[in-house]
Structure 1
Amino acid sequence: MKWNNCPCTINTIRTITLFLIALPVSAQAPAAKQTITLNPINVTATRSERSIQEIPNAISQFDRYPQQRFQPGVTLDEFARNVPGVFFQNQANFAQDLRISIRGFGARSAFGVRGIQMRVDGIPQTLPDGQTQLDSIDPSLIEQMEIVRGPLASLYGNASGGMIGMTTRAAPQERFMVSPRQVFGQYGLFKSELFAGGRHERFDYTVFGSHLQQNGWRDHSNVQNYFSQARLNFRINDDSDLMLLFRKFYSPEARDPGGLTHEQVRDNPRQASTRNTRFNAGEEVDQEQMGIRLRKKPTANQELSVTAHMLHRDFQNRLPFFDGGQVQFDRLVGGIAIQYRHDHRLFDRPNRLIIGVDYGIQNDDRQRFNNDDGKRGALTLNQIERVQNVGPFFRNEWRMHDRLDLVAGGRWDWLHFQVKDAYRTDGDQSGEKTFSQGSGTVGLVYHLDRQHQVYTNVATIFETPTTTELVNNPAGRGGFNPGLKPQTSLSQELGIRGLIRGFRYESALFYIYSWNEILPFELLQAPGRAFFRNTGESSRLGVETRLATPEWYGLRSEISYTYSDFEFQKYTVDAVSLRDNAFPGIPQHRWEGLLRYAHTLGFFGQIHVQHIGAFFVNDTNSVANNAYTLGQLLFGWSTRLRWLEGSIFAGVSNLFDERYNANTRINAAFGRYFEPGAPVNMFGGIRLRIMPF
């Protein structure tokens, strides 16, 4: 890897990994004498509730701890800090959405999320073509988050380089509870929230609404949106339950300040790109979603579930160029999943079999217009894009020995992309593409004792281009980009996790080899629009570690480290070989630390620090984003008096007043790679919880 200031080598990584793996083995005998036991942590990311100790994957689970209630509630990374292997960018540009990458999957995204499956309350947020929009998920509503750092294509199919599952806040135990919250901060931050819910015999419910507005630190970065959700749970009888979910998101304004060159960042980091101001770059979104899930247990060892969902999204945006610079589409999405689980005995050993099938359909009615300095011009494209996805799957989890679990699974995905051209001025660009591929995994978990496990897995990953990536044709015509192929990968992982005297630890070493890696680039005649190409072959070697301490007099702490050595193996652009060049957009080194304190009198505090190493922003590795260190300080006080609970809180973001870039645009035209982040700034708020009954 081309880093003069990064002395880490493969031998160093091997030494660290061998040390981490050997440590619990040497401590195994004394650990057996401890009274501390590893509390069971159950997750549902593998499509059934299972102890994390029995899963041969790197999984992080986070519950809403008390201090989480006092974050600004603006972006999802507030909930998932200190997760190794997961890198967040673009927390301030709501027109482009939060960027998430897991082990490099998702790093190519120009907007939204790619290569990662996401679900909320079991309802898919990832579309059949593999893209996910995060704007319609309010972080303040999340109760629990599970992150699988590695492939789950054998369960979820296309775009499953990682998985993030979220559960929204459950109904309170009281018959009725209402909780308003108000947040305010610098640069016009103002967020109002209202949560309410209750229980009555076999029925419980929650409703939530929020309004966010923010002027933004940079010019031309205003945002305003409204969000609401209602979730109803019915206990039909002792073996059946039903969930209904309704969600609404409306954003009348989300402006895009655009990327800047290095010189522009140095001279005036608050400025917006002149092209983005001239063409009034930004977007408006109006979206509704509905989901329903029915679960039934015919016997104590069996469960059948049916999940159906629908989504409608009305989207309009303005990009910073004239020719086809305004996009509008009307999107309809539907899907259904049927799943059956059976717990039984195989060769007189416990066994769990999961079988099912997913079906999804996506229909986009898309138009493009010229962007005449922010006003809508002539029509340049009019087409209907349709995607259908069918994926049958199975997973078998077998306790083949008292200390050894064997997991195997597979899935076959069939995806059909179709475009119908209704704009025939440049000829008929209608066409269709079909992608189909199998995905498989096999993994082992060896239980050193009740507190420590070593695991390993091998898995394949299948990722097609999304409709947006396919229709953004560098040739300037409608239809599909004929040269863009699906990306496939083979992943190998070795990890260890457990508990030593109350200290929870985990460490993972992985190697991923990919063919036809999909990466973005821009053209000079259309700056701000991302086009995509395949790179050939690439490799990813990484180490992820995390250590969390037990609580001691109200104090708890965590620290994590991620090492990423991601390189191109075969990649030629304009007759120039880029072999051994580093992946753009991924730091080689990343540290995070978190320290929390809670006093019995209600006072609390938290400090979070992260260091992001330097990384390149283009495939040629000619331009790099400098390393930076960010910190956040949070403090407040909570108290309760009979039926009323109240809290006040305040925080400081970018605690060290670091000059840094909150987002980087990979392979951007004209050198506009950087989107600067805000300097030191403050926020605060008040929260009430009222229980009148």
Structure 2
Amino acid sequence: MSALAGKTRHQREVTLLALSMLLAALRPAAVRAEPAGDAGAPLPAVVVTATRASEPAFEVPAAIDAVRIDPAGSDRLAVDLSEVLGGVPGVLVRNRQNRAQDEQISIRGFGSRATFGVRGVRLYTDGIPATMPDGAGQVSHFNLDSAERIEVLRGPFSALYGNASAGVIQLFTADGADPPEWRLGLAGGSDAAARTSLNWRDRFGALDSNLDLDRFRTAGYRDHSAAERISANAKLAWQSADGARLTVLANTLSIPEAEDPLGLSREEFAEDPRQATAVARLFDTRKEVRQTQGGAIWEQTLSAHQDWRLLAYAGRREVTQFLAIPVGAQASPGSGGGVVDLDGDYRGADLRWSWRSAPFELTIGTSIEDFDQQRRGYENFFGDLLGVRGVMRRDETDRVRSVDQYAQLQWTPAEAWSLFVGGRRSTLAFTVADRYVGTGNPDDSGRRDYTATTPVAGLIVRPHDDLRLYANWGEGFETPTLAELGYRSDGGAGLNFELRPARSHSSELGAKLRLAPALEANVALFRADTDDEIAVATNAGGRSTYRNVARARRQGAEASVQAQWSGAWRLQLAATWLDARFRSPFLACAGTPCTTPSVPVASGSRLPGVPRLSVHAQLVHGDDTGWRWRARFEHVGDVPVNDIASQSAAAYDVFGLDLGYGLALANGKLRAFADLDNLFDRRYAGSVIVNDGNGRYYEPAAGRSLTVGLQWQWGGH
């Protein structure tokens, strides 16, 4: 049997049935009456801000989750979002085992086409966008060690965040602590992974602070995948007696070098998933990143009914990346070379005013985002020497500016129901100034403007204190990114003016239930119809061009359960069924070079990169002190890797086990842990590179791996 082959359908069904039976068996224990001292404690109320008003998640007419982050009490490496968002339905965060390309994130199938970075999903850290106005984002600077929570908003209401917001992920840094506390974290394990972190949280009068320094190094699971990442994060806040609050934010990231092993072909994966493809070593593919950003938030309460909030920020990101484009492919006068050199400055502001007077709550705001990028390209060879910076082949200035206005109104005429309506008006301008023009390389300068109005509406009904039913609808849009807009498939000069933004029409029905004080469940049905889906058109000479596919549909169901009983037992289940398909036929490429698509893709074909079924389960016993263990299970269905579905990554089931011990000290806490991932050493593709022109679609997940660590906290409560 091929190394890519997964379990049989029968085996998978048996596994999922066993999980269902486990839930059924546990439910009576969670809901039956218990003696007062033994009953499960109520699950903590979760307050979210993703709809731009602080509301309990239970009262929001949308699918939204808040994941609490507690590095001092968590038994994990705490480096990647994939470690903490697995229990959120509808969200797929896939660790590429490649620090040069960031994690792969999709929400309800949006974002699955991203070959690097994040597309189609809006990302924020403390309100500062980690997604540029063109829709391209990255999460490498997300600092989990200093975070309090991560909010994930899915469905139509995410359209209130503007361009490329089929879903929203926001990280929030924790406030300071009183009394002050220090946290020191040391962790290491397989593949020479090592992480050191130092965190200080303090509160003195009206001033509180959270300062963090984090360093991570790894030799990588695969050959040629070593990386180092150093980050620092700071949050300072001052609260005045008259209701004003000033928060100052700063973040810096340095990735001195992250080797890029590239994807593997099906045959290479079967032979040895730990290998790097030959051209990765030949051209020494790698990436270097430096980023610094800062911002400030001023919040002012004007009265019992009014307040306003102003956010301003600025940052700079520098990226140098060596690609594996063959020397011969760079002979074309129009080639941009094999080394990408980007220097980008970004800045923006968001002003928001809120007014409350029963039965209404109104929020009105405006935002501006500006991104300037110097893009240069060089040959990745000099004479016979490969993997070095050679002659310049590209030199241009790219700029994207977004100016948006938004409003949201909540009307609660009775306790039994509330109505939410809102909308956003977005205006974006893309400008390219080409300074590298010559024979065979025409002037690619140009400008393209986009405008969109995205309305949303939602209704929540409260038939019972422990039941919420909701429905919502909205429209969204996603412009091409600068990289997708940069080239025309006919090889002509200027931007790809024929490429249109994708526009979606989404709807959702859901229910939120409190089945007992310590048992909650959420279910949602959703559908998103997209016009002008953005897809690959051609691959040739190291360049990919893009075009629109008339129609696509993503529809499915989500369910999640959280239970806690007998004080120390906790269960979390999350499942997503997703059917994502093209709904109109088109022609696609089948290899490289390909300048004219010729392979028919029928209406009803699956969208690449999207599994039909994903399931996450974990069972935890114990607390911050004493012994604690956690058992984890993850199932991900098979995934087509290209538009023509000529290959697929097989479905997989993976188990993990954590064990930790916490000790209360006179002046703090000490915790030791061991984390065993991929318990049965399953070989599988953890992520895929959709429509890779060289057929190197597969990014292997790590085999069985062990992480051990210490968390030492002194001070605090």
| Common fold by TM > 0.5 | yes
Deviation at 1:67, TM superposition (A): 7.8
Match of 1:437 among 448, 452, 455: 452
CA shift in 2, pair 1:140/1:675, >3 Å: same
Give the counterpart of 1:325 among 323, 338, 352. Answer: 338
Alignment of 1:240-251 (within 5 A): 240-251=244-255
Which of 625, 628, 647 is the matching residue for 1:623? Answer: 647
Question: How far 1:268 sits from its partner (Å)?
Answer: 1.4
| 1:690 to partner: Cα distance | 1.7
The one of 484, 488, 506 equivalent to 2:522 is 506
Whether 2:495 is the aligned partner of 1:471: answer no
Partner of 1:192: 196
Distance (whole Å) between structure 1 residues aligned to residue 544 and residue 184 of structure 2:
40
Q: Helix, strand or coil: the match of 2:85?
A: coil
Q: Report the 3-state secondary structure (helix = DSSP H, G, I; strand = E; otherwise coil) of the residue aligned with 1:48.
A: coil
Residue equivalent to 2:289: 285
Q: Which moved more, 1:122-131 or 1:499-508?
A: 122-131
- State the 1:485 CA deviation: 1.4
What letter corresponds to residue 363 of structure 1 in structure 2? Answer: D
Residue 523 of structure 1 aligns with which residue?
A: 539
Q: Among residues 230, 239, 242, which one is paired with 2:243 in the alignment? A: 239
Structure 2 vs 1, CA of residues 206 and 150 (structure 1 numbering), >3 Å: closer, same or farther?
Answer: same
Worse-superposed segment, 52-61 or 182-191: 52-61
- 1:61-140 matched pairs, under 5 angstroms: 61-64=66-69, 69-140=74-145
Question: 2:143·2:233 contact (CA, 8 Å) conserved in 1?
Answer: no
Asked whether the equivalents of residues 153 and 159 of structure 1 are also in contact (C-alpha less than 8 Å), the reply is no
Confirm whether residue 427 of structure 1 aligns to residue 442 of structure 2.
Answer: yes
The 1-side partners of 2:491 and 2:323 are apart by 15
- Counterparts of 1:16-415 in structure 2 under 5 Å? 40-64=45-69, 69-174=74-179, 176-321=180-325, 322=327, 323=330, 324-345=337-358, 350-372=359-381, 373-415=386-428
Q: Secondary structure of 2:604's match?
A: coil
Deviation at 1:374, TM superposition (A): 0.7
- 1:534 paired with 2:540, answer no
Structure-2 change in CA distance of 1:286 and 1:479 (3 Å): farther
Structure 2 residue matching 1:433: 3-state secondary structure: strand
One of 568, 574, 598 as aligned partner of 1:560:
574
Q: CA RMSD in A?
A: 2.4
The 3 A distance-change label for structure 1 pair 600 and 271 is closer
> Are 2:81 and 2:93, in contact at CA under 8 Å, matched by a contact in 1?
no
Match of 2:629 among 580, 605, 609: 605
1:276 is paired with a residue whose SS is helix
Equivalent runs, 1:461-500 vs 2, <5 Å: 461-474=476-489, 479-500=494-515
Structure 2 distance, partners of 1:303, 1:37, is: 32
Checking the alignment, whether the CA contact within 8 Å between 1:495 and 1:508 is kept in structure 2 is yes
Residue identity matched to 1:491 = S
- Tell me the residue number matched to 1:614: 638
For residues 597 and 35 of structure 1, the distance between their equivalents in structure 2, rounded to whole angstroms, comes to 13
Q: Deviations over 1:454-493 (max 9, x none)?
A: 1000100111011122125555677422332110000011
Distance 1:675 1:556, change over 3 A: same
Residue 622 of structure 1 and its aligned partner are, at CA, apart by: 1.6
Q: Mark the runs of 5 or more structure 1 residues left unpaired by the alignment.
A: 8-29
Instruction: Give the corresponding residue for 1:18.
Output: none
Work out whether 1:456 is the aligned partner of 2:475. Answer: no
- Deviation, structure 1 residue 333: 0.3
Could you tell me the TM-score, scaled by structure 2's length? 0.89
- Return the alpha-carbon distance in structure 2 between the equivalents of residues 186 and 538 of structure 1: 42
- Alignment-derived partner of residue 14 in structure 1: none
1:540-689 alignment runs, 5 A limit:
540-573=554-587, 574=598, 576-598=600-622, 602-689=626-713
Change (3 A) 1:599 1:243: closer
Going from structure 1 to structure 2, the CA distance change for 1:82 and 1:431 (only over 3 Å counts) comes to: same
Residue number in structure 1 paired with 2:15: none
**Structure 1 residue 523: deviation in Å?**
2.0
| Structure 2 Cα separation of the partners of residues 66 and 177 of structure 1 | 13
Quick one: distance in 2 between partners of 1:432 and 1:108? Answer: 25
Code of the aligned partner of 2:626: G
How far does the alpha carbon of each residue in 1:563-600 deviate from its partner, in whole angstroms, 9 at most, with x for none? Answer: 01111111311262421100111110111111111158
Cα offset, 1:530, TM superposition: 5.0
Find the aligned partners of 1:671 and 1:149 in 2 and give their Cα distance: 32
Percent identical among aligned pairs is 30
CA shift, 1:644, in A, is 3.0
Cα deviation code 1:611-652 (max 9, x no counterpart): 111121111112111011112211111112221321111110
Q: Which amino acid aligns with 1:545?
A: A
Cα shift at 1:152? 3.5
SS across alignment from 2:380: strand
| Alpha-carbon distance in 1 for matches of 2:218, 2:311 | 36
Contact 1:560 1:593 in 2 (8 A): yes
Q: Report the CA distance shift for 1:640/1:256 in structure 2 as closer, same or farther (over 3 A).
A: same
CA distance in 2: counterparts of 1:153 and 1:69, whole angstroms: 29
Change beyond 3 A, Cα 1:6–1:656? closer
Contact kept, 8 Å, 1:38 with 1:498, in 2: the verdict is no
> What amino acid maps onto 2:116 in structure 1?
F
Contact 1:67 1:604 in 2 (8 A): no
Task: Could you tell me which runs of 5 or more consecutive residues in structure 2 were left unpaired when the two chains were aligned.
Answer: 1-7, 11-32, 34-38, 331-336, 588-597
Q: Could you state the TM-score of these two structures normalised by the residue count of structure 1? A: 0.92
How many Å separate the matches in 1 of 2:299 and 2:147? Answer: 22
1:480 and 1:295, CA in 2 relative to 1: closer, same or farther beyond 3 A?
same
Instruction: Tell me how far apart the structure 2 counterparts of residues 530 and 640 of structure 1 sit (CA, whole Å).
Output: 57
Does the CA-based 8 Å contact 1:658-1:679 persist in structure 2? yes
2:101 maps to a residue whose letter is Q
Asked whether the equivalents of residues 396 and 435 of structure 2 are also in contact (C-alpha less than 8 Å), the reply is yes
- Range with bigger deviation, 447-456 or 469-478: 469-478
Structure 2 counterpart of 1:181, which letter? G
Native 8 Å contact 1:584 1:617 kept in 2: yes
CA 51–538 in structure 1, closer or farther in 2 if over 3 Å, else same: same
Alpha-carbon offset, residue 687 of structure 1: 1.2
Are the aligned partners of 2:41 and 2:564 in contact in 1 as well (CA < 8 Å)?
Answer: no
Q: Deviations over 1:283-315 (max 9, x none)?
A: 101110001000000102211000001010111
SS of match in other structure, 1:670: coil
Q: Which amino acid aligns with 1:351?
A: F
Equivalenced residues, count: 661
What CA distance in whole angstroms lies between the structure 2 residues aligned with 1:41 and 1:103?
23
